Structure 1
């Protein structure tokens, strides 16, 4: 845009902008990126993954190391894509904060914590606007970056359900907003790291704030689909775990809960956070991501899921015993038989419910296993030992 000043590096000037102008500039950046993306060549589309013709593979060019891509390469990419979907998709949008950190690459966490010495660390992030369940965060770029800022979008996926739980009880409301910020989140960032490494995974895992979505496989930047989020998202999500930011989110939740009108009424415009509020929010001292603590929380969640599976097995056994007893109803009176049939229907409903839970647990077992292994690999353990540790943990939980 001609009316937006640029820096000496040719990037848009984002320093000192109002929240309105900040979003206007980054809307233009998104438009520019979309146009550039349309001109991309040699991309691996979903269609190409399924239809691996030799001519199309040759058009992809050479991979790192100078060799041409092969059908086996594309088969591996397809397996990685399916693994990403199985790891993150659970039928609901978003991933929790613990899962986000547990699956992030160590280098991204170090940069988010400014624990690197090459100028790529970041130090600050400030909410600039919020509209219902979408929070916009302004993140100051690293010293080594040509950009001045990046824009992170965070969407609270449990917003509607938790909105219904708000009361006049201040303490309860604080617990609700903590649950919201630690719960399922979807996100997006304009930076190249997210665009070329992680947006594809976010789209496959159903935790992308769209637009934009990415369907072209990151064959060069992230062919193994490792990691979850860039340093800007990690830093913003970590600061979101502090009371300072949560108070501001709760303020909007209460306003929405009390409003009269449709939830998507155009009069319910975006709330732009004032300079005074931003200064107060900048006093947020929750800037360091504790990967070890999130790993422990994720491990605890896995153990609880294993225990739940055992409990469901035990309950199903009890239901089977009751079911056998009910077969004796043939010798009962009509009134007794009617009552027994009502009990049978109730038991069948519970059985169906438990069967569904067991299926969900089975589906999530592979998710838990990969998450456990990724978390240990992130700490330095090799993948074989990490898998053995997982099986040891599962066996221990069943004792």
Structure 2
């Protein structure tokens, strides 16, 4: 059943299971219709599918798409690309996610088990460490008992060659560096895979079809399964130990290549321990340090929502009010000339006076 630690911890065949899900989703995507492609967005013409206009949920209600919608989609995609220019970290994934996804992660996803890791190569060079995690499912989808979350640690090559650090210290540094991720759940597939692709932090297949129905405003970052994994990356000693093992293996091989797998008995121990944790949203400290740290990470609200606008100094406000007075510019210039001052000197004097009164 959903949430059964034995189901989550069963590692035999889990890699094949993950690949099979990927193949099925890729096949479904190839057959999908009503996809809004980048070419259609750039054209500015509202696409017509089977004799009908494409639909969107932009604005909260499903309706036919308009040329103005296409303009908004293009603008949102550009803003998204600028927003994530430089990648993303586990901390940012938690901070920038929607409150509803963080709440679901805290209340519905009980277990996270790192199953396997390998060095990813591009040509002859290793570019990242790919770690596959298994989480339980919430039970909302019939017949689905667990999900596979893939995380690529882009700081891995740097930490493999950083011989001055122990593997433990290198792992602690690596999990604060850049990542890419993917999840096989529907939330990631239909809401967030496009966001991850445009933001250039997707670890799975890229998605070029704009989510005009599910997420036309391009809000949020990650599903509850990914968020639960991110909390363990930030605060879990088991994940820390697993990453240290991967770095040790990479250093032993010399080039960062190689695979490691979780031991079945360790996976069972982790799943069983996590299954016994209190999951109520208002649960007090459980005595499980890893879990309490992970829960605090997921509870934390996005820093972006707490940024306050800069206060305008009182003197600056006075300067602004003076500048808005009719004829102020001409009067200032005339006074400057009478005093034998340059405009720059006059401005410096006014600014100094304004600061003295603020």
- TM-score (ref. length: structure 1): 0.64
Residue in 2 aligned with 1:196? 190
> What is the number of residues matched between the two proteins?
279
Do 1:156 and 1:180's aligned partners in 2 also have CA atoms closer than 8 Å?
yes
Residue 36 of structure 1, CA deviation: 0.7
Do 2:55 and 2:65's aligned partners in 1 also have CA atoms closer than 8 Å?
yes
2:92 pairs, out of 91, 99, 104, with 99
Which structure is larger by alpha-carbon Rg, 1 or 2?
2
Asked if residue 290 in structure 1 is aligned to residue 294 in structure 2, the reply is no
Q: Where does the alignment leave 5 or more consecutive residues of structure 1 unmatched? A: 1-6, 115-120, 299-371, 377-385
The 5 Å alignment of 1:297-316 reads none
Which structure is higher in helix share? 1
Do 2:55 and 2:212's aligned partners in 1 also have CA atoms closer than 8 Å?
no
CA distance in 1, matches of 2:31, 2:114: 33
Going from structure 1 to structure 2, the CA distance change for 1:60 and 1:258 (only over 3 Å counts) comes to farther
Deviations 1:261-318 (A, max 9, x none): x555xxx3x32211122134444535415356575xx5xxxxxxxxxxxxxxxxxxxx
CA distance in 2, matches of 1:393, 1:123: 47
Do 1:126 and 1:138's aligned partners in 2 also have CA atoms closer than 8 Å?
yes
The 5 Å alignment of 1:222-301 reads 222-241=215-234, 242-260=236-254, 263-264=256-257, 268=258, 270-282=259-271, 283=273, 285=291, 286-291=293-298, 293=300, 295=302
- 3-state SS in 2 of match to 1:279: helix
Going from structure 1 to structure 2, the CA distance change for 1:159 and 1:66 (only over 3 Å counts) comes to closer
- 3-state SS in 1 of match to 2:192: helix
Residue in 2 aligned with 1:379? none
Going from structure 1 to structure 2, the CA distance change for 1:17 and 1:280 (only over 3 Å counts) comes to closer
- TM-score (ref. length: structure 2): 0.71
- 3-state SS in 1 of match to 2:207: coil
Asked if residue 129 in structure 1 is aligned to residue 116 in structure 2, the reply is yes
Aligned residues: CA RMSD: 2.8
Q: Where does the alignment leave 5 or more consecutive residues of structure 2 unmatched? A: 120-128, 274-289, 314-354
- 3-state SS in 2 of match to 1:290: helix
CA distance in 2, matches of 1:40, 1:75: 24
Do 1:84 and 1:201's aligned partners in 2 also have CA atoms closer than 8 Å?
yes
Residue 15 of structure 1, CA deviation: 3.2
Q: Which gives a bigger RCO, structure 1 or 2 (Cα 8 Å, sep 6+)?
A: 2
Residue in 2 aligned with 1:152? 149
Asked if residue 44 in structure 1 is aligned to residue 36 in structure 2, the reply is yes
Residue 19 of structure 1, CA deviation: 2.6
2:208 pairs, out of 186, 195, 215, with 215
Residue in 1 aligned with 2:84? 88
Going from structure 1 to structure 2, the CA distance change for 1:60 and 1:160 (only over 3 Å counts) comes to farther
